[in-house]
Amino acid sequence: MRIETLLSKFAIKGINYDPQSGGGKALLSAEEQLAVVGLCWHESPVGWLVLFVEGLRDVHALKQLQIATRGETLRLMEDWRGVYPEKALTALCATAIAEATQQNGQVCPECNGAGKVLSKCNHQRKCQCCKNGRIEWTQETRFAYFDQFLPVTYSRFKRYSSILINIIEWLIKNKEIVIIILDNQINLEKKDNQI
């Protein structure tokens, strides 16, 4: 991800350039620019990408996250016995990213996230498909999402599920690292403001 793109996500409009060099050389290095925003990108770039995809629906961050997740998937599947198609990697990455960025579950397609539906006689009823408008992640919902990219039997999906769980845990762990860093930074800034 380019530094200008990252800084623009935090509403920083531009970078100060050295006027004596003709405006071409930045006064601050990339690390210093990140420090100005209070970020620790290098601690967990994957965690930042997960947050950008989850919170901002950023397409460029999604592409970067897919590349990073694919690399982790290939690393986890080094010892895989047997063959698997290229679509299996795509399905594993897409399912893991979907679950990591929608931890509360997917929006229910029947009630559109409302949690209530209208019966034939216009009475409001609780939606039978979801809990409060979200379909929670279970083994069956993972299989349904995975099956959109690689239609396989459930018994074959169970073979992939151990890898899928590891990828999801890896993504969530990276996201939690960033959240802890941000929380520590906020607490530090609150203490500085109180002094």
The residue assigned the tokens 């019966």 is 119
pLDDT at 60: 87
Q: How far apart are CA 153 and CA 134, in angstroms?
A: 25
Q: What is the pTM of this model?
A: 0.80
Q: Are β-strands 124-126 and 116-118 bridged in parallel, bridged antiparallel, or unpaired?
A: antiparallel
- How far is it, in rounded angstroms, from Cα 137 to Cα 109? 15
For the stretch 146-149, contacts whose Cβ atoms lie closer than 8 Å and that sit 24 or more positions apart, written own/partner, are: 146/91, 146/92, 146/95, 148/91, 149/87, 149/90, 149/91, 149/94, 149/95
The pLDDT tens digits of the residues spanning 28-38 come to: 555 565 565 55
Domain coordinates in residue numbering, the chain: 1-39, 48-102+137-195, 105-136
* Per-residue pLDDT at 1: 46
d(CA 43, CA 117): 44
Q: Is the pLDDT of residue 89 over 60?
A: yes
* Higher per-residue pLDDT: 13 or 141: 141
Q: Residue 117 above 50 pLDDT?
A: yes
pLDDT in tens, 153-166: 999 999 999 999 99
Least confident range of 16-25, 27-36, 125-134, 162-171: 16-25
Measure the CA–CA gap between 16 and 34, rounded to whole angstroms.
13
